[in-house]
Amino acid sequence: MNSKNPIVTRRTALHGLGAMIALPWLQVMGGSSAAAAIGQKEPPRLACFYIPGAINHYQWYPADEGPKYTISPSHRPLAHLRDEFSVLSSLLHIQGRISGHEHPYNWLTGTNIKITPGTITNTISLDQVAAQHVGPTYVPSLALSFEDGVGTRTLSRNAMGADIPAIGNYRTVFEKLFPPADAAQLKQAKARLELNRSVLDIAIEETSNLRRKLGHGDQQRLDQYLESIREVEKRMTDNGEILDRGRPKFDEAAVKLQPQGKNRMREHIELMMDLISLAFQTDMTRVVTQSLGGEGGPNYDDYKDWAQSVGAPVRGAHDVHHKGSGNRGVENPDVKVLGLRDEMFCACLARLMDKLKGIEASDGNLLDHTVLLLGGSQISSHSGGSFPMLLAGGRKLGFKHGQHVKWKGGVKPASDLYLTILQQMRCPVKSFKESTGPLSEILA
């Protein structure tokens, strides 16, 4: 269809209606999940965290394999959680393999985004497939990043392959996650809902009229659009009930939305992960992605501190990814800086895992029902030959941990891991992009 068609404009408007899905009335009590508080079965959750640029491969990959592997230096902050995560080596995108700084585009899609020269052609990401099946929640999925935006700032792509904008502001995340507490704001939210319903009604009517004038191919594309409208329609119906019930009760005063430092990478990641933990506990969303940094920035002060601690030149994030990766030797100061950054990422993951493990679920703890994926698309900068991947949590979903699994290089698609995650989260899918089948090695 022509890009100037009014339907496209309305689609854009509909995407801006917000994430609207119902949740049961709940009162989160202490350290329990929403499901545990009301005696319901625990739903699955998923959070994917992207490592930007390269890694220190000397310190990331364990030297040995199996359940008795020696934990690597980068993963030392996770040592006390050894039985709750697995190291996965040699996964990659095969047909979907790319190079350059565009890796955030396809880490969770497995698509060769450069197949058409001069354009970026993408497909749906892992998280959005999960979001289609693990609801209903108030926010179907949440895309987080180091700053607001699309492109390489977000990891999430919708069913059309279009970018889902990521959020980098803590208060914006909080306000998106929860219905208004103020009565006047709640009234305004209900008024916006009614307005959105009116827009939706117009879109449905005009789309139905247009369909009769289209050829078979355009009718199929329009049917995909109508299906997305039906999803929005259901969310809006459920959302009216949510606004009547109000937000779940929790200690809002304890939620930190203002960082102490102005340019601290670790603090930014920890604040976002705290909101993820709260979102999962209150069941406001069950699917999250977070880009932990950019391919070329931001230039957080942490890089300066790491460089000074090992006697390396002070560089920006982009140069650290280039100068600290590749075969420069384990004692190279730039390589050490990259290793300190990798270790920090693992420390943040360990902190989140500890939080989730401390929250009582209806069966076990919240970590048992949450799949956490920490990984990236590059060993050295621009090289997507083997992905650094850590899989954690999800014991009640059938995952087996406490091991280093290494496959033959260049043959095992990352899509097999994504298919395994989706199936263990009870999503009715039989394939994902390049998948050849689930990974039995990581299942109990």
Tokens matching residue 46: 């998923």
**Measured between alpha carbons, how far is 323 from 288 in angstroms, rounded to an integer?**
31
Residue with the larger pLDDT of the pair 322 and 234: 322
Task: Give the best-scoring range by mean pLDDT among 2-11, 262-271, 376-385.
Answer: 262-271
Burial annotation 114-130 (CB, 10 A radius, 16+ → b, else e): beeeeeeebbbbbbbbb
Residue 142 has pLDDT above 70, yes or no: yes
Residue 24 has pLDDT above 50, yes or no: no
**Measured between alpha carbons, how far is 352 from 355 in angstroms, rounded to an integer?**
5
For the ranges 55-69, 186-200, 285-299, 381-395, which has the lowest average pLDDT?
186-200
Residue with the larger pLDDT of the pair 10 and 200: 200
pLDDT band at 322 (very low <50, low <70, confident <90, very high): very high
Residue 197 has pLDDT above 70, yes or no: no
Q: Which contacts (CB < 8 Å, 24+ apart) does range 97-102 have?
A: 97/384, 98/384, 99/382, 99/383, 99/384, 100/382, 101/152, 101/295, 101/296, 101/382, 102/152
Q: Say what the pLDDT of residue 20 is.
A: 31
Coil, helix or strand for 87? strand
pLDDT by residue (tens digit) across 37-84? Answer: 889 999 999 999 999 999 999 999 999 999 999 999 999 999 999 999
Instruction: Quote the Cα angle for 51-53-55, to 5°.
Output: 70
Q: Say what the pLDDT of residue 189 is.
A: 63
Q: Nearest to residue 380, comparing CAs of 432, 343, 305, 328?
A: 328
DSSP letters, 323-389, are: HTSSSS-TT-HHHHHHHHHHHHHHHHHHHHHHHHHTSB-SSSBGGGGEEEEEE-S-SSTT--SS--E
pLDDT band at 384 (very low <50, low <70, confident <90, very high): confident
Residue 30 has pLDDT above 60, yes or no: no
Coil, helix or strand for 249? strand
Q: Say what the pLDDT of residue 196 is.
A: 62
Q: Say what the pLDDT of residue 326 is.
A: 87
pLDDT band at 209 (very low <50, low <70, confident <90, very high): low
Average pLDDT, the chain: 86
Burial annotation 65-89 (CB, 10 A radius, 16+ → b, else e): eeeebeebbbbebbeebeebbbbbb
For the ranges 41-55, 233-247, 257-271, which has the lowest average pLDDT?
233-247
Residue with the larger pLDDT of the pair 8 and 340: 340
- Give the pTM: 0.85
pLDDT band at 7 (very low <50, low <70, confident <90, very high): very low
pLDDT by residue (tens digit) across 337-352? Answer: 999 999 999 999 999 9
Mean pLDDT (whole number) for 182-210 = 63
**Measured between alpha carbons, how far is 370 from 393 in angstroms, rounded to an integer?**
6
Residue 257 has pLDDT above 90, yes or no: yes
Mean pLDDT (whole number) for 308-314 = 97
Residue with the larger pLDDT of the pair 199 and 1: 199
Mean pLDDT (whole number) for 405-428 = 97
Mean pLDDT (whole number) for 146-168 = 95
Residue 203 has pLDDT above 80, yes or no: no
Mean pLDDT (whole number) for 154-175 = 95
Q: Say what the pLDDT of residue 14 is.
A: 36
Residue 383 has pLDDT above 70, yes or no: yes
For the ranges 82-91, 209-218, 324-333, which has the lowest average pLDDT?
209-218
Q: Say what the pLDDT of residue 25 is.
A: 34
